[in-house]
Structure 1
C-alpha cells in the first residue's frame, strides 16, 4: 500500500473548509443532526469533542477576508458542487503556488473529467486523455449529458466557461485568508496538539486500505475543519481528526444498537442490496456496476460510499482499475450481532 501519512493539517483544504462553514449560519445545527443520523447522541458528542471546532470557526470568521467571488464558491452551491471546487483546488494546487501559469484548457478538461468521474482509476488521466471542450457549443453538449443534477448545471456551466478566472479568484481568496487561518490555529493550539498526538498512534486500517487502493501514492492529511471526514481524491486524502472519538462510540456496550441500525440503514433501498448480490459473485468497478444496475455512475458512487462506510464492501486494485468487492466477514459479523439481539 503506497501512501504518505502526514500528522498535520493541510492549510489549503482547511481554509476552503473554514470559508464554507463561515458562509453557513446553521453549520453547528447541521453537524449535530448529522451525528444523530449517524447513530450517536449529537449534542452530547458535540459538547464533549467538537467545541474545538466551534472556537476554530469563530476565530477564523472574526479575521477572515471576503473574496471577490465568495457567493459563487461558498454560498450559491450545493454540497456536491463545493466538493467539486475542493477537488479542483487540491488537484491543481500547482497553480496556487504558481498563480501566473494557469492553463485554461487543462483546467477545463480536468473539471469536465471530475464532473463525470467514473472513479475507476487511481490517477487523473494525462492531458491528451482529458475531455476537450474548445468552445461554448462543446461545453453545452457536454453538460447536456453530464452526470450531475440539473440544478447544479448552471454552476458547472459558469465554472467551465472560464475555469482559469475562477481558480485564480479562489486561490487569491485562500491566500488572503492565511492570516485568519493562522490566528484560528493559535486559538486552538493546546487542544489541537493533544489531538495530533492521539492521531499519530491511531490507524483507521479500512480507510488507509481504501486510500492506498483508490489513489496512486496519495498524501493523507488530518483535518480539523472537517473533523469527521474520510475523503480520497487522486493525489491527496483527508482524515478527520475526531474520527477516533467517533469510532469509540461503536465499542461493545456503547451505542451498539445505534451501530447496528446504522449498518441496517445502508441496506434501506433495493439498489444497495442489488449491489451486494452482484458483488457476491464477482468484483466490479464502478462503471460496470452502474451499467449492470441501470444507474448513473454518480448514483452508483453514492451507493458505494454508503456501503464502504458501513463496512459491507471494500476495494482492490486490478489491471490499473479500482474494483469493489464484498466484505464477507463484516457482513457475517453484522448478521451474527443482529441474530444475537433479536433471537438469542
Structure 2
C-alpha cells in the first residue's frame, strides 16, 4: 500500500483537521472579558490532553479553528450548567425543601333521571330499555355494576309518582394523603485526619538535618556545608559527588569503547552521526527528548499552568512557583552558622558566608582592590574611578 503525504500549508486544527489561520491551543485568549486557554478547556471539560509535537511542525499543528472553539465553549458552559443545577438540587433535597403535589380524588357527578306524569307505562318501559342499550356499550368490567344499578335505580311501579330519582351512590371518602417518612439527613462525614508521614531515613541520614517549614514541606540541610535540598535524593546525589567524591555512573557507548555519564551520552553519539534531541524552532540541543518538549511548551508556546494565589502571576513549573512564593512570605529558611542571620535565598547565604571566610573574588582592574560582592565592586568603580573604566 502506497503511503500518502500530508502537506500542510497553513495552520492545522487538531480537533477537526481543517487548515487555515487559527488560534494556538496554549495561548490565552479573551472572550467576553474572560480569559480562555483552549488546551486547559479540553483537559478540564472533555478530559483530552493534546500535546504539541516537537520540531518544525510544532507551531503550525498546535492550533484550533473558530468552529471548534464555539463547540468547545458550548460544552464547557453546558457542563457548568449541569454541575450548578445538580448542586442546587442536592442542597434543597437534603434540606427537605422539595415537595410533591398530592393527587386529589375525582368524584363523579350523580346521575338523575326524572319521569313526568304524562308518560305512559309503555313509555317508561321504553326509557328503561334505552338505558339498558346504552349500558351495553360499556366495557365488560363495568357491565355487571351497571346491571345491578339498573335493578335498583329503575324499579318502576304501575302508579308512578310525579318524579322518581335514582338512588345516589355513596360518596367515596377521599383517601388520606400518604404520610411522608422523613428521611434522616445524612450527617456530614468527618474529615479523616492526615496520618503522620513517616520520615524515610536514607543511607546517609546522619549527614543531614531535617527541617520542617511553615508550609508543611521539608528540607534536607547538609551538615558538612551550607547546602539545603528539597528531597532526600537530591541530598544523596550532592553528598556522594561533593563530599564522598564519587563520580556519576558511566554508560558505555554501543559503537565504541568510551564511557560517558548519562547526561552526556546524546552529545557523544553525535560523533557517530546520531544527532542529539534538538528544538526545531531555535536549534538548541538537549540530553533527553522530554527536555525538548518541555522547552518548546515553556519558551515557544508560553505555556504556564502554575498560577500564584497571591499575585496571580503564572509560572512554567511548580519549582518556579515555589521559588516565587517566597517573596510573599517572611520565612527565611537559610541561616548563617557564624552569626545566625537568616536569608530567604540560598545564593544570598553563600555570599554572606564569604564575608566571614574573607573570600573576595571580585577584584578591581585599576587599583586591584577586592570585594565579596559584584555590586560592591561596581559601586567602588563608580565612586573611585569615574570615567576610567
TM-score scaled by length of structure 1? 0.23
Larger Rg computed on CA atoms: 2
Larger RCO (alpha carbons 8 Å, 6+ apart): 1
Which structure shows the bigger proportion of residues in helix conformation?
Answer: 1
